[in-house]
């Protein structure tokens, strides 16, 4: 009896949260998928997807590669910083690595564009210091974009990884140290494996934030190929073509969803393992 | 209970104070929606609204910006469609400022009214932008706010004798690889404008692109045209946007590139641009565009809307704000504006590009159908 009354009450309690989720997330999602199958005159069509594959296949591959590269570099740097801060308490680094977290994407994009330009701040500095003239600029190329992405995304990932490293029971680390393990070995054999889920979270969040970023690729990225987001904006702004834009959106959902499913499975297995 | 009475009394007192403050009771709220960059919203909010409210103290002007590019216009049209579908007698928007494409959309959807018969400033317009927009007859429905134009900027330190046409530009670029820069089509409209100009130059059917009719058969020779553009691009630096081109010009990384004239002069005045850089429009011309005032079909205050448009289109305001403050080309003939301008302002605006150049080489953007096809052709044949 008690149980039966409880459950509708519980449902009522989560209803506000659920309806916000439904209204702001599920509804637009369904609508995006829906409208990706309609042309501008309102007829059902696969034409949008055909156009996407005709025009934007390279951009999609480029976006995935770019994002994966960003995730890879971010993880590497994040783990190095976290490991260092796990063993040594260096206040300066501890504050500095968080800095990019507080700078809006738009500002980063503009700053990087000027910093990395052929006659930009970086090259002017190098020319003054070493007297090398006419260095190539990397803004407006994929290397510049990668550099900017890594700069922006690293602090967030590091924050998660460092948190996980610090939360580990120090007994494991001390035991390993007593038995004579080097710090490198401790990082690879103890810290990283035991923080697997957190690193995974850092990876997925970095991936999602990178692939959905518009301002930075728009300002720093190369003119071609373009990230998916730029193509979506272009389609909407210049063609008022929501069909193709939504098809591109659906494709990026699918890419991200693949990751999410993998992550959920992994988490479930992990939880199950701990329980058993 | 008592507390409520006190609160009510205080509120009444405050409200009556607020009302007493106003010399004139506000009767009319003139709501305008503005597509375009922030500078256009600022123009109305901080310059025009206060001046207009001085003349008509019973009016308050409310300005809402919807953002740059055709997307901004699109949003206004959608708003008007919602008003129409709601079946209301009076719509909430009194004036809208839209791109040419926005005016065409609005006209085709029957969302705007004819008003320029009652507008005396219309007689001062000298270009035909108030009659034709993207090949569509809009006569009676629109009044231009200003004209903007794209041109090629160059740095005379490196370029002594700039090319005068697209054909000469191609020669020049081959001799100076990497020194001409533009921003493609996805990073701002100055690049789009350059590409449109390229098609105007190469195609035999430019007239059709500008005046219609729309037919795919006029696009037959495009693969060849865009193949040549792709070849041209090999000698070109790609910049990251309208501002990116100006930045690279400033730093001497490129020597030449297409820019919006108003943006160029604004940067110049703000000291963000190397003052020695000059501009020209290459033959056979590059596109520019006006922004248009439209009055919604069932606007609540069409009379005041008309008065505001009349006010902003008057030679004095055109001179003071449109030309001097914002560096746009006026919506009305220069002869009418000139008496109200300081000599140096007029000279600086027409220093490089003369008014006859504008009339000769200032082309409109092509019809929507061709415009979209050009962009897609670029994606297909140049970018891929």
Query: What tens digit of pLDDT does each residue of A164-184 get?
Result: 999 998 999 999 999 988 889
Let me know whether A232 and A102 are in one domain: yes
Check whether residue A54 and residue A184 sit in a common domain.
yes
Instruction: Indicate whether A154 and A22 sit together in one domain.
Output: no
pLDDT in tens, A42-65: 889 999 999 999 999 999 999 999
Same domain, B35 and B125: yes
Q: For residue B359, what pLDDT band results from cuts at 50, 70 and 90? A: confident
B354 located within any domain: no
Per-residue pLDDT, A89: 87
Mean pLDDT of B29-53: 91
Q: What is the DSSP letter of B141?
A: T
- Element (H or E) spanning A33, and its range? helix A27-35
Residue A136 lies in a domain: yes
- Predicted confidence at residue B128, as pLDDT, reads 83
pLDDT tens for B10-30 read 888 877 776 665 556 678 999
* Whether B266 and B250 share a structural domain: yes
Indicate if B209 and B138 belong to the same structural domain.
no
Is residue A86 in some structural domain?
yes
Q: How many domains does chain A have?
A: 2
One domain for residues B368 and B228: yes
Alpha carbon B378 to its chain's center = 23
- Is A59 found in the same domain as A10? no
User: Which candidate from A224, A231, A240 shows the least CB-CB separation from B70?
Assistant: A240
Q: Which residue has the tokens 């946007």?
A: B241
Domain hosting B69: range is 2-147+289-349
Give yes or no: residues A24 and A102 share one domain: no
Query: Which of chain A's residues have a Cβ under 8 Å away from the Cβ of B134?
Result: none
Average pLDDT value for residue range B130-158: 92
Q: A247 vs A239, which has greater pLDDT?
A: A247
Residue B204 domain-assigned (yes or no): yes
Assess whether A162 and A80 both reside in one domain: yes
Q: Lowest-pLDDT range, A245-259, B19-33, B338-352?
A: B19-33
Shared domain check, B205 and B139: no
Instruction: Note the ipTM here.
Output: 0.80
Report the pLDDT value the prediction gives residue A4, as an integer from 0 to 100: 54
pLDDT single digits (tens) B191-206: 999 999 999 999 999 9
Between B313 and B350, the higher pLDDT residue: B313
Beta strand B286-294 with B143-154 is antiparallel
Task: Tell if the CB–CB gap between A140 and B244 is shorter than 8 Å.
Answer: yes
Residues of the domain holding A2: 1-35
Tell whether B369 and B307 lie within a shared domain: no
Query: How many distinct structural domains can be found in chain B?
Result: 2
Residues A185-227 have pLDDT tens digits of 999 999 999 998 889 889 999 999 999 999 999 888 888 899 9
pLDDT band for A1, please (50, 70, 90 cuts): very low
Confidence of residue B3 (pLDDT cuts 50, 70, 90): confident
CA distance A93 to A85: 8
Mutate to test the interface with B, among A140, A217, A223, A239 (most CBs of B within 10 A): A223
Place B151 in a pLDDT band, splitting at 50, 70 and 90. Answer: very high
With cut-offs at 50, 70 and 90, classify the pLDDT of residue A275: very low
A169 and A111, same domain (yes or no): yes
What is the DSSP code (8-state) at residue A137? P
- The pLDDT assigned to A46 comes to 92
Same structural domain for residues B237 and B370? yes
| Averaged pLDDT, B323-342 | 89
Contact between B179 and B256 under an 8 Å Cβ cutoff? The reply is: yes
For residues B57 and B137, state if they share a domain: yes
User: Which of residues 182 through 211 in chain B touch A, CB cutoff 8 A?
Assistant: 183-187, 192
Residues A123 and A81 grouped into a single domain? yes
Residue B356 domain-assigned (yes or no): no
Is residue B55 located within the same domain as residue B130? yes
Angle at A249 between CA A244 and CA A250, to 5 degrees: 95
Mean pLDDT, range B290-316, rounded to an integer: 94
Residue A11 within a domain: yes
Q: What's the Cα-to-Cα distance from A229 to each of A56, A250, B53, rounded to whole Å? A: 11, 12, 43
Over 80: is that where the pLDDT of A36 sits? Answer: yes
CATH code at position B179: 3.40.190.10
The burial class, CB within 10 Å (0-12 / 13-18 / 19+), for B204 is exposed
For residue A102, pLDDT beyond 80: yes
A128 within some domain = yes
In a domain, A41, yes or no: no
Q: What's the rounded mean pLDDT across residues B48-77?
A: 90
Report pLDDT digits (tens) over A65-95.
Answer: 999 999 999 999 999 999 999 998 899 998 9
Minimum CA–CA partner of B184 in chain A: A223
Is A216 among the domain residues?
Answer: yes
| Chain A residue with minimum CA distance to B368 | A239
Same domain, B43 and B66: yes
With respect to residue B159, please indicate whether it lies within any of the assigned structural domains. yes
Interface of A with B (CB under 8 A): 54-55, 58, 113-114, 117-120, 137, 139-140, 218-226, 230-231, 233-234, 236-240
Residues A85 and A13 in one domain: no
- pLDDT category, A241, cuts 50, 70, 90? confident
Q: What is the pLDDT of residue A272?
A: 54
Verify whether the Cβ–Cβ distance B183 to A223 is below 8 Å. yes
Same domain? For A209 and A98 the reply is yes
Distance in angstroms (rounded) separating the CA atoms of residues B140 and A158:
62
Are B213 and B280 found together in one domain? yes
**Pair of tokens at residue B142:** 């629109």
Do residues B159 and B216 both lie within one domain? yes
List CB contacts (< 8 A) between B71 and chain A.
Answer: 236-237, 240
Q: Is B355 domain-assigned?
A: no
Set of chain A residues whose Cβ sits within 8 Å of the Cβ of B241: 218-219
* Residue A43 included in any domain: no
Contacts of A238 in chain B (CB under 8 A): 69-70, 185, 192, 372, 375
The CA distance from B216 to B208, in Å, is: 11
A111 and A244 belong to one structural domain: yes
A130 and A31 housed in the same domain = no
- When pLDDT is averaged across residues B355-361 and rounded to a whole number, the result is 86
Asked whether the beta carbons of B181 and B237 are under 8 A apart, the reply is yes
């Amino acid at each position: 009896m008690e149980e039966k009354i409880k459950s509708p009450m519980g449902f009522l309690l989560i209803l506000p949260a659920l309806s916000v989720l439904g209204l702001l997330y599920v509804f637009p999602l369904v609508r995006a998928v829906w409208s990706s199958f309609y042309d501008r005159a309102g007829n059902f069509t696969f034409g949008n997807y055909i156009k996407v594959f005709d025009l934007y296949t390279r951009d999609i591959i480029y976006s995935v590669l770019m994002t994966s590269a960003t995730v890879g570099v971010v993880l590497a740097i994040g783990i190095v910083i976290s490991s260092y801060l796990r063993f040594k308490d260096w206040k300066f680094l501890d504050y500095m690595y968080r800095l990019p977290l507080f700078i809006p994407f738009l500002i980063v994009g503009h700053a990087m564009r000027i910093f990395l330009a052929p006659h930009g701040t970086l090259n002017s500095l190098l020319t003054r210091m070493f007297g090398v003239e006419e260095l190539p600029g990397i803004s407006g190329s994929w290397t510049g974009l990668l550099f900017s992405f890594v700069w922006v995304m690293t602090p967030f990932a590091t924050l998660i990884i460092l948190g996980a490293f610090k939360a580990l029971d120090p007994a494991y680390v001390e035991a390993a140290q007593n038995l004579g393990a080097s710090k490198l070995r401790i990082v690879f054999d103890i810290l990283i494996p035991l923080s697997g889920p957190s690193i995974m979270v850092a990876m997925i969040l970095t991936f999602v934030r990178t692939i959905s970023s518009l301002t930075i690729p728009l300002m720093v990225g190369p003119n071609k190929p373009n990230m998916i987001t730029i193509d979506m904006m272009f389609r909407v702004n210049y063609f008022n073509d929501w069909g193709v834009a939504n098809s591109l959106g659906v494709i990026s959902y699918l890419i991200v969803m693949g990751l999410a499913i993998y992550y959920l499975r992994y988490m479930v297995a992990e939880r199950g393992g701990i329980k058993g | 209970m008592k507390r409520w009475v006190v609160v009510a009394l205080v509120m009444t007192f405050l409200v009556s104070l607020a009302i007493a403050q106003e010399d004139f009771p506000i009767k009319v709220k003139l709501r305008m929606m503005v597509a375009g960059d922030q500078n256009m919203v600022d123009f109305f909010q901080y310059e025009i609204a206060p001046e207009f409210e001085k003349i008509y103290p019973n009016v308050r002007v409310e300005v809402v910006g919807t953002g740059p590019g055709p997307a901004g216009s699109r949003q206004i049209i959608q708003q008007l469609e919602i008003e129409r579908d709601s079946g209301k007698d009076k719509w909430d928007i009194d004036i809208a400022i839209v791109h040419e494409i926005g005016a065409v959309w609005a006209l085709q959807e029957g969302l705007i009214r004819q008003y320029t018969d009652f507008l005396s400033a219309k007689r001062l317009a000298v270009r035909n932008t108030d009659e034709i927009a993207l090949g569509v007859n809009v006569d009676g429905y629109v009044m231009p706010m200003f004209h903007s134009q794209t041109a090629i900027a160059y740095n005379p330190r490196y370029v002594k004798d700039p090319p005068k046409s697209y054909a000469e530009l191609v020669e020049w670029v081959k001799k100076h690889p990497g020194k001409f820069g533009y921003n493609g089509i996805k990073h701002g409209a100055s690049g789009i404008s350059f590409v449109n100009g390229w098609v105007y130059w190469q195609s035999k059917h430019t007239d059709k692109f500008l005046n219609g009719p729309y037919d795919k058969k006029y696009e037959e020779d495009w693969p060849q045209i865009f193949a040549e553009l792709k070849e041209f691009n090999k000698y070109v630096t790609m910049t990251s946007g309208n501002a990116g081109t100006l930045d690279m010009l400033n730093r001497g990384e490129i020597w030449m590139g297409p820019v919006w004239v108003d943006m160029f002069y604004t940067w110049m005045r703000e000291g963000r641009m190397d003052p020695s850089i000059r501009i020209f429009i290459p033959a056979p011309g590059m596109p520019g565009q006006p922004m248009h005032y439209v009055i919604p079909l069932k606007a609540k205050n069409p009379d005041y809307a008309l008065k505001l448009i009349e006010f902003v289109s008057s030679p004095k305001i055109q001179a003071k704000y449109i030309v001097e403050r914002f560096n746009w080309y006026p919506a009305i003939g220069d002869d009418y504006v000139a008496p109200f301008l300081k000599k140096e302002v007029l000279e600086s605006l027409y220093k490089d590009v003369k008014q006859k150049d504008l009339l000769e080489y200032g082309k409109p953007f092509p019809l929507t159908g061709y415009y979209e096809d050009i962009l897609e052709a670029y994606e297909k044949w140049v970018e891929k």
